[in-house]
Amino acid sequence: MQDFVFRELARRGFTMDRFAMDRAAIEAHPGGSPWSEQHSTAPIVVGIHHPRAETGRSLILQSHLDVVPEGPRALWQHAPFEAEIVGDWMYGRGAADMKAGAAANLCALDALRRIGFQPAATVYVQSVVEEESTGNGALMTHLRGYRADAVLIPEPEEEKLVRANAGVIWFQIEVQGLPVHVREMGAGANAIDAAYRVIGELRGLEADWNARKAMHEHFRDDPHPINLNIGKIEGGDWASSVPAWCRIDCRIAIYPGVDAEDAAAEIRARVEAFARGDAYFANNPPRITFNGFRAQGYVLEPGSDAEAALERAHRAATGAALERFMTPAYLDTRVYALYDRVPALCYGPISRNIHGFDECVSLASVKRITQAMALFIAEWCGLEEVA
């Protein structure tokens, strides 16, 4: 996919850059997430448009090409990787999250070119990976030195602008059991049963974090802004042995302004305190590993020129006022909001079932937001005639 994007950008005359993730630099940065064996080794691709005369404001257009697993195929009505179109909807894993936005980044610039114009400012089209598991791809473009006056990431946001967004932490907990034959089960310790006790404690942590929502302006009206997901469980070897091991993979959200490092330390302390008070865990403490996202949330500060320009562009393209909302999940825009401190706009098409079965994107909506993006680029960067 990155090779495809590289060729598409090169064919359009962009100055090309392709580079690997720098693990040491990423892990040394406060916004870097820990590595795991599953970490992508795909390159990051950036295409740079240089104007003849730099008269406007520069812009980063970013998309991520990684997708989440499709899950059991039998639960899809439409094939997950065939890009089937039924009526207005294109189906497929990643169709909405976010191949549609990746295409919009290119097509908004193509649209301007078709009427004889190009941005009168430097535009970086950045294609990254690792958005769904660490956020390290976006951070790598920052570490590579790419900076602009504003950033636009067309994630599937229902034609709305993201005002605030949660951070995310991933962790894995390993519980050891004591394996015995089931006929003397009382003498052993069942790692799967024990893992359930840890999950119970984590649900308590989740409840405590939700109870703090009143302190967070954009989150207090959400009934349950902090979601803990027990995303994966593995354990045991077969039905007639008391399981000696169990592993759970977890994801939890954090509020903007909460340091991801502090939140991770709180999770660790909570699990350790629980273990000390538990007859079995006191001598066999569960092991906790941070194996993915360790990313902070952000708030898009209201009142920027970039937001006003997008608002005008959205109104011109759709005839409707631009709505803002909070999304309690990770977004790459956090890199630019937190570490570049520039307006980071997350705005994109209408979708259904992202991360679920029969993910799909509205093609009419993709056209509308692409038009809004082209108008936004025209105002933000200014235009010059194509030579």
Residue ranges in contact with Zn ion by CB under 5 A: 97-98, 155
User: Would you tell me the crossing angle of helices 305-318 and 363-381 to the nearest 10 degrees?
Assistant: 140
Give the C-alpha separation, 325 to 300, whole Å. 10
Report, in Å, the least distance between residue 321 CB and Zn ion. 25
Strands 245-254 and 150-153 come out as: unpaired
Could you tell me the two tokens for 365?
Answer: 């909506």
Report, in Å, the least distance between residue 95 CB and Zn ion. 11
Report, in Å, the least distance between residue 67 CB and Zn ion. 8
- The answer to whether the Cα torsion of 249, 254, 260, 263 is positive or negative is negative
> Between the CA atoms of 128, 122, 379 and 125, what dihedral angle is there, to the nearest 10 degrees?
-20
Q: Which residue, chain included where needed, has tokens 């720098």?
A: 22
Report, in Å, the least distance between residue 64 CB and Zn ion. 6
Report, in Å, the least distance between residue 166 CB and Zn ion. 14
How far lies 161's CA from each of 210, 285, 355, in Å?
24, 44, 20
Of the candidates 24, 39, 36, 255, the residue with the CA atom closest to the CA atom of residue 143: 24
Report, in Å, the least distance between residue 114 CB and Zn ion. 28
Q: Do residues 83 and 92 lie in contact, with contact meaning Cβ atoms separated by under 8 Å?
A: yes
Give the C-alpha separation, 27 to 38, whole Å. 16
8-state DSSP, 228: E
Could you tell me the two tokens for 153?
Answer: 């990431």
Query: Closest-CB residue for Zn ion?
Result: 97
Report, in Å, the least distance between residue 348 CB and Zn ion. 9
- The answer to whether the Cα torsion of 356, 329, 216, 152 is positive or negative is negative
Kindly tell me which of 12 and 352 has the beta carbon lying closer to Zn ion.
352
Report, in Å, the least distance between residue 262 CB and Zn ion. 26
Kindly tell me which of 142 and 213 has the beta carbon lying closer to Zn ion.
142
> Between the CA atoms of 86, 87, 92 and 95, what dihedral angle is there, to the nearest 10 degrees?
160
Of the candidates 24, 6, 104, 16, the residue with the CA atom closest to the CA atom of residue 62: 104
How far lies 117's CA from each of 112, 149, 386, in Å?
5, 20, 5
8-state DSSP, 182: G
Kindly tell me which of 112 and 345 has the beta carbon lying closer to Zn ion.
345
Q: Do residues 47 and 19 lie in contact, with contact meaning Cβ atoms separated by under 8 Å?
A: no
Kindly tell me which of 235 and 297 has the beta carbon lying closer to Zn ion.
297
Kindly tell me which of 131 and 307 has the beta carbon lying closer to Zn ion.
131
Report, in Å, the least distance between residue 351 CB and Zn ion. 10
Kindly tell me which of 354 and 383 has the beta carbon lying closer to Zn ion.
354
